[in-house]
Structure 1
Amino acid sequence: MRKLLTLGISGIIAGPALSGPSVAAEMKVSIEVPKLDVAEYHRPYVAAWIEKPDGSVAANLSVWYDVKSENKKGNKWLKDLRQWWRRAGRDLEMPVDGLSSATRPVGKHPIDLSSSAPALAELQAGEYELVVEAAREVGGRELLRIPFKWPAAAAFSGTAQGKEELGEVALEIKP
């Protein structure tokens, strides 16, 4: 009788946990690093994050910088990502597993996240902005924003076009 009761109760408790959410949302971000015709080219540092309406950071998505530099010298230039640095960067001990990675070459680079990813798992329902900032040594700095609602009631896509350090930044959300 005890075994039967234990199995019955554990089935009631574990049932919903095992079944998981019925619909899993996903977010896809694409960040384009454009080809620039300049005398001295350095790959840009890039940060992507989700921002709340009050300007605070809801989640960091990615930071691309010189992770392989000697004595963490690449960390010194993270401050050039001014908006990200002021809102979230100065409080992080870089590198951060799953967040930071090396700078990227020219081309389009995807960031794919499911609703269970740490960056999205704690995201409350509401209005947000995807923010992407790029800064390049001997170059400029650029910041792009794409507003969105989370969770999306219907499929959503938005883009922003950079003029200098970023190409097209695209956001796609599927409920």
Structure 2
Amino acid sequence: MKLSHTLALSLPLASGWAMAADLSVKFELPQLNVAEYHKPYVAVWIERADQTVASNLSLLYDVKKKDNAGEKWVKDLRTWWRKAGRDAKLPIDGVSGATRAAGTHTLSFGPAVNGLDKLPAGDYKLVIEAAREAGGRELVKVPFAWPAKGKLAANAAGKEELGAVSVQIQ
């Protein structure tokens, strides 16, 4: 089942290239009451207004599985896979990391990470997708304008595989 949630957010734009900023993504992976719980694979990326990928921020999967067997299930992150994953060589340096257990997690990205400092001014969406073996899949989108003048905070929430999602730009 594909669920998509969007929170609208608009900030003033500056002309030209974006200025440096720190971006932080906080997300909740709910503990589900199921017989066999598997940690979800999670992809976090920034999408342009035309829905192409502007920057891959994070890909969390079973990176330590013997013989790279964890890569086999990355395609279950179907939206990310179609947009960026099938052309990527895994693991992606500076992007790939281990899956996370149920709970609240924060990922932080400095201005030079993943090209954020070169992101042109415009409208974007932070997208987070989670997929779990023997479970569901969910996608949450948080629109924002880049660069942010001052601090930006936006929140959204999933309903099954993702809980609360918040984005902060400073």
Q: Same fold (TM over 0.5)?
A: yes
Instruction: Give the aligned partner of residue 115 of structure 1.
Output: 111
1:9-88 alignment runs, 5 A limit: 24-88=20-84
Deviation of 1:24 after TM superposition, in Å, equals 4.1
The residue correspondences of 1:94-173 to structure 2 (distance < 5 A) are 94-173=90-169
Q: Distance in 2 between matches of 1:75 and 1:24?
A: 33
Kept after mapping to 2: 8 A contact 1:132/1:144: yes
- Structure-1-length-normalised TM-score: 0.83
Q: Does the aligned pair in 2 maintain the 1:61–1:119 contact within 8 Å?
A: no
Identity score, percent: 54
- Equivalent AA in structure 1 for residue 135 of structure 2: G
Q: Which amino acid aligns with 1:77?
A: W
Give the TM-score taking structure 2 as reference length. 0.86
Single out whichever of 27-36 and 132-141 deviates more from structure 2.
27-36
User: Aligned Cα RMSD in Å?
Assistant: 1.2
Secondary structure at 2:70 match in 1: helix
Question: Which one scores higher on RCO, CA 8 angstroms, separation ≥ 6?
Answer: 2
What residue ranges of structure 2 are gaps of 5+ in the alignment? 1-18
Give, in angstroms, the shift of residue 118 of structure 1: 2.8
Partners in 2 of 1:101 and 1:70 — Cα distance? 15
2:46·2:57 contact (CA, 8 Å) conserved in 1?
yes
Runs ≥4 residues deviating over 3 A: none
Deviates more, 1:108-117 or 1:164-173: 108-117
**Equivalent residue letter for 1:61:** L
CA distance in 2, matches of 1:80, 1:147: 24
How many residues were matched structurally?
A: 152
Write out per-residue CA displacement over residues 48-88 of structure 1, whole angstroms, 9 at most, x where no aligned residue: 00000111000000000011112111111111000000000
Structure ID, larger Rg:
1
Give the deviation of 1:154 after TM superposition.
Answer: 2.8
**Separation in 2 of the partners of 1:159 and 1:98?**
25
Gaps of 5+ in 1: 1-22
SS in 2 for 1:49: strand
**Alpha-carbon displacement from aligned partner over 1:87-135 (angstroms, at most 9, x marks no partner):** 0001111111210011001111111112222341221111100000000
